[in-house]
A and B are shown apart, each in its own frame.
Chain A
């Protein structure tokens, strides 16, 4: 099972102002933590190596010990460190934008078991498992869930928000540089929680505009094979769950398949988007992603060929 190769999701290579603030907080806490540990370890080792005087009945040294150790080491030192960490925490929290500016790009992200539905309401785009954002611009992502709790987590951008079925939450996201970032579901959501991945594609303004217009464009396939595949799409009941522009009915349980060829992966980040992988996915999704909602679809090789041609032409 070969996956696509992307920029590794990592908190230590921040790609946004928020992620940078968090990384700064981490390095500060790491340094403080190491100092605290070294102080502790030094005292422990020194105490173990030291030859203490014979125990005596005199309580005065005992009291001095209490004052020196517990007040200085146990109260004052943690208090100072914690005040610094707390101040840094508040500072980093301020880097997280509380609300999006009025001109921010709006995206609606809905969690499903086990994939992401992505909508750009103003642009009229519906896609799945890929979140395209323009570099350097704030994006308001409105998240919710259709079923259980999922969580949007983009480590490289320092973004996390739970996707709750009972409400829509908004998170403001911003990428500094072009790049593709892993975002795995951050809340256990069932049997295929492991393979629920969103790819955040940060693009320059021109690339983003080009992507938007390519998504908006749609022409009904004209080739004979593709037209045959269009019928298979209905006949094999794909249409019950999947929408594809131009179809009369539009199911909503599975991802919208319009412009499928432009997507990077299949099965929410599971395998690269190739013709063979699409064929495997259609004929036996349970072998690839056991427990996914998609059923097995028995097709003759000819039907499969036609269906693949239709999907490939799908925009």
Chain B
């Protein structure tokens, strides 16, 4: 058994700046304000990241652990009456919803926000305020969801909330509204954090950390975050449709009025299946970071691992229907989804064998994180094998919604996700607390969990094959189900003991842990070069990366190409008046821009409050309050993005630029904000596409479209409105070009003209909508018609508000031909809005004419 003695091969640590006082100065500059105000306005990535993780862990104890304990107690013996059928349904609904929405994702996003700046060699995440907003919305959403318990209105339709069971007829109370709206708020947070992570990984890395030198955890989070964007957005649209049906009398899922219960299943599983891999890929990232440190060998097959993660990212969107094998799809469709589901086995195989090869190539060190990685490998391979089995359609039909699936999914999610989380906590805890965890308690923790998980979930496969369905609150004796159920319950008790030891270990380390030092594991990635716990600004001197394993292969982190050396040294002592961070080229990691990172602000909290108020207003049916919430969000968004007076003159910026050939933007980044706008547009485009798909799905479900008695819409006024919108986008473009030529007046006149033309277009369109002769609640046709229209109008309103804000600031002379990034971003948004408008209304007004 090896120890860590004589390891690592290089002792590279974070370089020290020339003058010690600049270190203190940097720390002061990057710190959040003290006290309660600092807690409410703080944006530091350490704070946001650790809060996300702690809150996720809190929800895990509440919804993951407590619920499962009660459920297993109920099922321990046949014909048990410990809990009522109603309570049992609430328990499994809550268990699934909480673990899928409020536990794993926040924990991984927390890991990412906490770790990435250190691991990538940068001082912050790109949008610290967006990170804070993501946390507040997640917290508020989770609390809103959980408040259902206080009112005895706990959701009880399963974590998948299939319609029509979750619809207004069969779930008339507010319970399902808590589910839709509470989790909806949390989903907004998940998407916000994903955008933050995408840009952070792509644009904010140490100079020299090219895309092929990026740590695998960063790769994993990058791919995961894109998947979040593409998967959670359809879910938000699905939830919107469900809430419109529940609260506003629309019908999308009610067959009586032209809807289809399967539309919900499609929207849900387009989210729901990628969600499984959204949870798994970060685990791949963590395992790929931990393994090299504990085998003393670089990961074997880096490129293969990246390719496998990308492949899983794409494939995961092509197999949602394998949750719907029994709904009556054609054999051809069935075999396609079966093949796609099985194909995932190949990238997963690549990953497993890359890790096996790494273990063979290296010399294992038996630390607790390594034990959890081994536990992960064994459990996950079993879950993967049963996963291939359930991809085989006829077998899936036999075990679908049986305990076989419960066994399979817990092997995958506990083996494939929870064990890597434990590995990650044991691995990085010393970095963030500066203290070691106890190894002996760690081994107890691991073995209790590993044994407990296998004892709890192995017998479930057998129960499923014996015909025990999921989601039953009891079972009768005499079917041979008694012993496996009892064993399973005992296993859960063992898991509990393991979690207890985990909490004990953390508490013990927090109070009495031995100091960890910079790099207790002799690991290779950048975060281990910084102090434990790290300083507020992370890096005084930004490191220069020349290797995929900088701490093993680089003697010094501040050495590199001469121009880069001068650049990073200069940046350690300049500007010292604002929070400076570096933007690099996505692929080549050459410095592109030095920009001012946003600081503490109360507005993310206010905006989060506004979002939750909108959802809360719908929940308690005080709909005017939703307008107040929307107003708060708008005001907060404007205040949040208000261009503050740059803390530096353009001459000072230019001086640094001349010396280092890197752009300086003390007013805020041009590159980062462009990416941010790009992702915002992408988000809206996905939402829009989900609505269009719903439209065409309903179209195909209804042989007569529009329904009898409704005339196909007349196109004249819509064509006029569309033409006006198209003109407005050309006007905006021209106006922006004027600003580029310093023609302020023409710029302003152009914006005003664009607003006038577009508002005229919207008025013409609204006039037409008022006379179409059907309503939201009449039929699925009217429901989807007005939902799409409403979506387009909201996007239009957002664009008008943005242009209005730009106009206001332009009148105050805030934009110059040097500082005009927000203007061009708003112009991009305007273009996107107009394209969606044209496509959307063309669909609504032309599709009914096609037969």
Chain A interfacial positions (CB closer than 8 Å to B): 1-3, 5, 8-12, 18-19, 21-22, 25-26, 29, 33, 36-37, 40-41, 43-44, 46-48, 50-52, 55, 61-62, 65-66, 68-70, 72-75, 77-79, 81-82, 85-86, 88-90, 92-93, 95-96, 98, 113, 147-149, 151, 153, 155-156, 158-162, 164-167, 169, 182, 184-194, 290-291
Contacts and interface: CB of A to CB of B under 8 A. Distances in A.
Contacts of A167: 328
B170 A291 contact: no
17 contacts: A21-B394, A26-B395, A47-B359, A52-B361, A55-B9, A65-B300, A70-B301, A74-B301, A74-B351, A75-B349, A79-B346, A88-B392, A89-B393, A92-B395, A149-B165, A164-B328, A188-B157
A47 B346 contact: no
B350 to A, nearest CB: 4
Interface string B450-484: 00000000000000011101111111101110000
Instruction: Find the residue from A26, A156, A159 having the highest chain B CB count within 10 A.
Output: A26
Nearest to A41: B378
B326 interface: yes
A60 to B, nearest CB: 13
B254 to A, nearest CB: 9
A193 B471 contact: yes
Given A90-B335, A153-B469, A169-B328, A25 B401 contact: no
A86 B340 CA distance: 10
B252 to A, nearest CB: 12
B261 interface: yes
B400 interface: yes
A274 to B, nearest CB: 16
A93 B478 CA distance: 32
Interface of B: 9, 79, 84-86, 89, 156-158, 162, 164-165, 169-170, 255, 259-262, 296-298, 300-301, 304, 326-328, 331, 334-335, 338-339, 342-343, 345-346, 348-354, 356-357, 359-364, 374, 377-378, 381-382, 385-386, 388-389, 391-395, 397-402, 465-467, 469-476, 478-480, 701
Contacts of B393: 89, 92-93
B361 A65 contact: yes
Given A70-B301, A89-B392, A182-B467, A78 B165 contact: no
A187 B162 contact: yes
Contacts of B353: 69-70, 72-74
Contacts of B255: 165-166
Contact of B469 (A5, A50, A186): A186
Nearest to A143: B328
Top 3 nearest A-B pairs (CB, nearest first) are A9-B467, A74-B353, A166-B255
A70 B357 contact: yes
B471 A48 contact: no
Given A29-B389, A55-B297, A22 B471 contact: no
A48 B373 CA distance: 13
Given A11-B465, A148-B165, A149-B164, A70 B84 contact: no
B165 A190 contact: yes
Contact of A44 (B362, B374, B389, B397): B374
A74 B354 contact: yes
A85 B304 contact: no
A81 to B, nearest CB: 8
B355 to A, nearest CB: 9
Contacts of B350: 70, 74-75
Contacts of A21: 394
Given A1-B79, A166-B262, A194-B473, A151 B326 contact: yes
A75 B346 contact: yes
A155 B349 contact: no
Contact of A66 (B170, B262, B304, B342): B304
Instruction: Find the residue from B9, B465, B474 having the highest chain A CB count within 10 A.
Output: B465
Nearest to B381: A40
A15 to B, nearest CB: 12
Instruction: Find the residue from B298, B398, B401, B480 having the highest chain A CB count within 10 A.
Output: B398
Nearest to B89: A191
Contacts of A184: 467, 469, 472
A37 B269 CA distance: 29
Contacts of B9: 55
Contact of A160 (B164, B398, B476, B478): B398
Contacts of A90: 335
Contacts of A40: 352, 356, 377, 381
A185 to B, nearest CB: 7
A11 B392 contact: no
A69 to B, nearest CB: 4
B300 A69 contact: yes
B471 A188 contact: yes
A290 to B, nearest CB: 6
